Chain A
Amino acid sequence: MEAELRLSQKLEAIGQLTAGIAHEINTPMQYIGDNAQFLTSAFVDLCDGLLRTKRLCLQLGGEQDTADLLRCIFEELDIEYLLEQAPNALKGTLEGVGRVTTIVRALKDFAHPDQREKTSCDINSVLETALIVARNEYKYVAEVETAFGELPLVFCHVGEISQVFLNLLVNAGHAIGEVVGSGGGKGLIRIQTARSESSVTIKITDSGCGIPPEMQDRIFEPFFTTKAPGKGTGQGLAIARSIVVDKHRGTLTFQSRVGHGTTFTICLPCRGAPSPIQYPHAGSQLPSRRLGETESPDSPLAADEAAKWNLAARFDS
């Protein structure tokens, strides 16, 4: 109980800190992006002009010395190479801007500092966010495969549910790391979501080391850990269980075979019939497959509204 309280205070502090940092990062990202975009188009224009100048110069007659000098300059400039490479370099920079922006948004989604009440949320997009945040813990050891089913919105504490996913993903990464070591091989983390009449099921499967039978009864105990000292606090699964079972009246179960891997299954109750999902806050993060299934805006006004939401969603993080 005390550990839980400490954790929730800590999460809140991290959330506030994250919101502040996100704001600070977003401002320079604005002009890094603007400038890279400007330089890209300016560079292409400039090279185009130079290339035409070069052709003209080489056609010109006149003094032999001047012609040689010009030829020399153009050779040194190697406009063709620059024109081929520089836009790529700038394109890479813009991609970097996009990546940083995504990470900042995911961090903030994850931290949700002021979210004390339950809200309706799209579990699939919460999982996508958790995957981005946890990426560092698994990217060298595991590939990720997702099979997201169409889900109704789930009424939950989104910050806490994110925490559960994060804990399970980090554990999955560590369990696979035990098997593949630093040999460069990769395991697999598979995430599936599905719905039933009154609940949503999330399965997180890893191809890791598995949990020995003698430990299986204890993994949800606070302070129980199999990780090396300093690597785990033994709180992760205890807190995950408490969030899922006590706070959301769901279930958290697992199946594990040593040497084969583990599947954790979370079941969260959702109210009544699956509702048609509207995604006001998920926006561009969603795979188009699911966007296609929502009502398509057909009047210009609706399209405008959708564009506004989309814009809002991109930064409502």
Chain B
Amino acid sequence: VNPVAGVQYPTILFVDDDPLVLEGLTRTLRREPYDVLTAASAKAALAILSTVRVAVVVSDEQMPGGSGAELLERVRETNPDTVRIIMTGKTDLRETMRLIQEGAFYRFLGKPMQDEDLKRTLRQALQMQRLNDASARLSM
């Protein structure tokens, strides 16, 4: 919640086992209209997701104690309204592309990404989420 305007900002959750990556991403978004949360593991991320309404989750691919793809697979079941994005420094993206084709997640972000790429991807993800919400309301 933005304390000044009292406006509810959409929440973005970043998951990465490297705290420096999380700090960097959080700083990158400091002036963007989002509430940014971070989690250092898949477990911590699921704990947050069970209590907070998260609009977009951006997870690293390789983490000890459960890959990002596995985490997002879980999120797909537990929080179907949350838009899922995978983040990876891997250079062979064939597996990632396959998972995107299957609908496992909405987008991927390659590390390193430029801040503009991140911001644009988040804007598009939120736009998609709003469309999903609207169509869910219409079909009720």
Residues of A at the B interface (CB closer than 8 Å) are: 19, 22-35, 37-38, 97, 101, 104-105, 108, 113-114, 304, 307-308, 311-312, 314-317
Closest 4 A/B residue pairs (Cβ): A315-B110, A34-B24, A26-B89, A31-B24
Q: Contacting B91 at CB < 8 Å: which of A30, A31, A38, A315?
A: A315
**Contacts A29-B111, A311-B110 given: A23-B90 contact, CB under 8 Å?**
yes
CB B58 to nearest CB in A, in angstroms, measures 12
Q: Contacting A315 at CB < 8 Å: which of B23, B30, B93, B124?
A: B93
In angstroms, Cα B92 to Cα A315, docked, is 9
B27 with A34: CB separation less than 8 A? yes
Which stretch in B4-12, B38-46, B66-74, B112-120 binds the other chain? B112-120
Interface residues on B, range: 20 to 34
B107 with A308: CB separation less than 8 A? yes
B28 with A317: CB separation less than 8 A? no
**Contacts A37-B28, A38-B28, A312-B97 given: A30-B111 contact, CB under 8 Å?**
yes
In angstroms, Cα B75 to Cα A316, docked, is 26
Could you tell me which residues of chain B, from 4 to 22, have a CB within 8 Å of some CB in chain A? 18, 20-21
Q: Which residues of A contact B91 (CB under 8 A)?
A: 19, 22-23, 26, 104-105, 108, 315-317
Could you tell me which residues of chain B, from 113 to 133, have a CB within 8 Å of some CB in chain A? 113-115, 117, 120-121, 124
The SS class assigned to the B binding surface is mixed
A30 with B24: CB separation less than 8 A? yes
Q: Which residues of B contact A35 (CB under 8 A)?
A: 23-24, 27
In angstroms, Cα B64 to Cα A240, docked, is 43
A23 with B89: CB separation less than 8 A? yes
The residue on A at minimum CB distance from B87 is: A30
Most buried by B among A34, A97, A308, A312: A34
In angstroms, Cα B23 to Cα A309, docked, is 28
In angstroms, Cα B91 to Cα A25, docked, is 11
Q: Contacting B112 at CB < 8 Å: which of A101, A304, A307, A316?
A: A101
B92 with A97: CB separation less than 8 A? no
User: Quick check: is B25 within 8 A (CB to CB) of the other chain?
Assistant: yes
**Contacts A26-B112, A27-B21, A31-B20 given: A38-B27 contact, CB under 8 Å?**
yes
**Contacts A30-B111, A308-B107 given: A38-B24 contact, CB under 8 Å?**
yes
CB A107 to nearest CB in B, in angstroms, measures 9
A34 with B90: CB separation less than 8 A? no
B113 with A37: CB separation less than 8 A? no
Q: Which residues of B contact A32 (CB under 8 A)?
A: 112
Q: Which residues of A contact B115 (CB under 8 A)?
A: 33-34, 37
In angstroms, Cα B98 to Cα A14, docked, is 26
A34 with B110: CB separation less than 8 A? no
In angstroms, Cα B114 to Cα A30, docked, is 8
Q: Contacting A97 at CB < 8 Å: which of B18, B112, B124?
A: B112
Q: 28 A-B Cβ contacts within 8 A?
A: A23-B62, A25-B89, A26-B89, A26-B112, A30-B21, A30-B24, A30-B111, A30-B112, A31-B18, A31-B21, A31-B23, A31-B24, A31-B25, A33-B114, A33-B115, A34-B21, A34-B27, A35-B27, A37-B28, A38-B24, A38-B27, A105-B91, A113-B92, A308-B107, A311-B109, A312-B93, A312-B108, A315-B110
